[in-house]
Structure 1
Amino acid sequence: MAKLYRLLTAEDDSAFCHKVSDALAKGWELYGSPAYAHDPVAGVMRCAQAVTKVTDAPYDPDKRLGQQ
């Protein structure tokens, strides 16, 4: 059994919301509050949301976290 952690990040737009919603639909759970920061180079706001997931399979560092 393993507990996995991911930090989802992207520009503050609907694509970020879809990314988080997709993770939730695949069994990931929100961990903490979202964070926002201004990216002065790109001139946009960026979002971050941590998610965790408990899985019966052992952690495999060679697999992308979204595939575990």
Structure 2
Amino acid sequence: MLRWQYGLWMTSDVPQAGEAFLAADDAGKRSPSFLREELEGRLRTGPVAFRLLLHLPEAGDPTDDVTAL
């Protein structure tokens, strides 16, 4: 999930296909261009889709401190 915070609101982009993580020991077993190859393969099967979540502040939430979660 990616997050961006803009003071009065925060967004999260959630891939509809889900998230997958690569273990550090598996990364060394892959080709140097495996991320590009995987992305090209996924794009051949269909479009990329994200679910955009917009987080609005509640009453009393700090809106002048972008570091506050």
Calculate the TM-score normalised by the size of structure 2.
0.33
Quick check: which has more Rg, 1 or 2?
Answer: 2
Higher share of residues assigned strand: 1
